[in-house]
């Protein structure tokens, strides 16, 4: 068995993980991971935009955004609302699609009867990304007016705010969103390679074209579409995040095609990526290849990422569970790669990290989210006996179309937002932003950082939950 040298931070994380696991043992309990996976996937049906299919399980949601793209002569019906608002942000949507695809590629064989739902969730995203890239040398970045949308508290079925289409192109490039889209298309092409060869080929061919555009016309979509990117601006040195996404796209294209030029691209440009960011989320992902990865997000996380004594990974800044679910996925994937290559991590002083160590740590993250925490609260809506009741989500808060058929105007939903009653529509499977650093949680719609669910929190969790189905 060969050894990988341990970085000081990884050593610290795993020691703390062991200590926190011991401290939190009294709060641990058995969880129904199959039920959690089912609900985790159902959440994506609640985030759908467009014409909903007869198989729609979250029935209080109805058709929405049926004229999206008409302002630029495109059919942009479909896709996902990323969170509790009604804007379609392609950047996090592409990341969501990539992570759902990666979850299936790594753990799909463990998903059982939930695999068709996972494939459906991926295809809902990849279909939309094909539409978003249908014009050569351009990629749709956003549909909707973020500022106007965030001013109104209305159902997606009622949207009265402008559905502006923001596009990046040769003159106004956006390498981040384009490269992330290329990654999503490549990853999803692998998912459908055996079951739908024509569709898979279409996804892969488009991925190649979009990546070429992203690399050839360098620039940040922050500058190109301005307010349209808000709140999903890339908060860092733009050129470094541009490389970050380009590396991500190239890595997925290499994994999908095995064409050496994409692997060469990664090797030749890895030095320009965001080595200083040390995190893994929708706008920060850095990999070397699809089988043996150098995951900066695992091995070199900064001191600003730490563990509660109760066991949860925490990073200040809000919507914390996106870090926990994403890093948990990476740890789980990394454990699999270590096991397959018969490797362990040597941290010195007779402290050796095994694949089982990473799996056990990840299990602690999963169990915390599902309710093994000081509050005894599940942070997944609809799972367990105690979960958030007042999440920051327009469709969940306002009365459903079934109970209030008349169109609601911009501020008619304010009354429901301010209500102290639980949300009338349960968004099953939604994972909220999560607790504060002292393990407290404010179940309040106005506390966006803690109570808003997002697709990019749930997407990595799909693969993590699937892994624990094997017992």
d(CA 111, CA 108): 5
Overall average pLDDT of the 4-22 stretch: 53
pLDDT in tens, 269-281: 888 765 544 455 4
pLDDT in tens, 108-135: 999 999 999 999 999 999 999 999 999 9
Overall average pLDDT of the 326-331 stretch: 93
Q: Can 392 be counted among the known catalytic residues?
A: yes
Query: Is pLDDT at 283 greater than 70 in this prediction?
Result: no
What pLDDT, on the 0 to 100 scale, is given for residue 36?
99
Domain ranges for the chain? 2-470
Q: Higher confidence at residue 106 or residue 274? A: 106
Residues 6+ apart with CB under 8 A from 265: 215, 246, 247, 250
Indicate which residue of 31, 283, 392, 393 is catalytic.
392
CATH number 1.50.10.10 is the correct assignment for the domain at 2-470: yes
What pLDDT, on the 0 to 100 scale, is given for residue 299?
41
Overall average pLDDT of the 195-220 stretch: 97
| Residues in the chain, overall count | 471
What pLDDT, on the 0 to 100 scale, is given for residue 274?
57
What pLDDT, on the 0 to 100 scale, is given for residue 305?
54
Nearest to 451 by CA among 440, 443, 459, 439: 443
pLDDT in tens, 212-252: 999 999 998 888 887 766 655 444 444 545 788 999 999 99
d(CA 329, CA 293): 13
pLDDT in tens, 130-158: 999 999 999 999 999 998 899 999 999 99
């Amino acid at each position: 068995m060969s050894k990988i040298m341990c970085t000081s931070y990884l050593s610290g994380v795993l020691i703390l993980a062991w200590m926190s696991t011991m401290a939190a043992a009294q709060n641990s309990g058995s969880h129904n991971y199959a039920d959690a996976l089912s609900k985790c996937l159902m959440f994506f049906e609640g985030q759908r935009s467009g014409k909903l299919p007869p198989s729609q399980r979250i029935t209080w949601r109805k058709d929405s955004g049926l004229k999206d793209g008409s302002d630029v002569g495109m059919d942009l019906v479909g896709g996902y609302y990323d969170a509790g608002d009604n804007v379609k942000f392609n950047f996090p949507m592409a990341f969501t699609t990539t992570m759902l695809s990666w979850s299936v590629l790594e753990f799909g064989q463990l998903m059982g009867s939930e695999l068709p739902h996972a494939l459906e969730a991926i295809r809902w995203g990849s279909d939309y990304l094909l539409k978003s890239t249908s014009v050569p040398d351009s990629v749709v970045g956003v549909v909707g007016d973020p500022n106007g949308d965030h001013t109104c508290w209305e159902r997606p079925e009622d949207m009265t705010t402008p559905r502006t289409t923001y596009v990046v192109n040769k003159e106004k490039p956006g390498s981040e969103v384009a490269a992330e889209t290329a990654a999503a298309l490549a990853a999803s092409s692998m998912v459908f390679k055996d079951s739908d060869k024509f569709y898979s080929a279409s996804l892969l061919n488009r991925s190649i074209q979009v990546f070429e555009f992203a690399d050839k016309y360098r620039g940040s979509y922050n500058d190109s579409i301005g307010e349209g990117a808000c709140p999903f601006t890339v908060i860092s040195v733009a050129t470094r995040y541009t490389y970050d996404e380009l590396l991500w796209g190239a890595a997925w294209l290499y994994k999908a095609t095995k064409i050496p030029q994409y692997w060469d691209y990664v090797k030749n440009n890895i030095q320009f990526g965001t080595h200083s960011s040390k995190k893994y989320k929708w706008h920060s992902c850095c990999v070397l290849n699809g089988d043996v990865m150098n995951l900066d997000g695992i091995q070199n996380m900064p001191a600003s990422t730490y563990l509660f004594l109760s066991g949860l990974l925490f990073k200040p800044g809000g919507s914390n569970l996106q870090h926990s679910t994403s890093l948990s996925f990476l740890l789980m994937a990394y454990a699999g790669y270590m096991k397959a290559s018969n490797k362990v991590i040597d941290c010195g002083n007779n402290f050796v990290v095994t694949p089982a160590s990473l799996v056990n740590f990840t299990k602690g993250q999963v169990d915390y989210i599902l309710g093994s925490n000081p509050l005894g609260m599940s942070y997944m809506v609809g799972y367990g006996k105690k979960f958030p009741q007042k999440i920051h989500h327009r469709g969940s808060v306002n009365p459903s179309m079934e109970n209030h058929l008349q169109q609601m105007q911009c501020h008619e939903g304010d009354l429901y937002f301010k209500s102290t009653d639980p949300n009338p529509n349960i968004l099953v499977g939604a994972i909220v932003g999560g607790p504060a650093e002292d393990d407290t949680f404010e179940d309040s719609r106005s506390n966006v950082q803690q109570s808003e669910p997002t697709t990019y929190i749930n997407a990595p969790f799909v693969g993590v939950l699937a892994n624990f189905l094997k017992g």
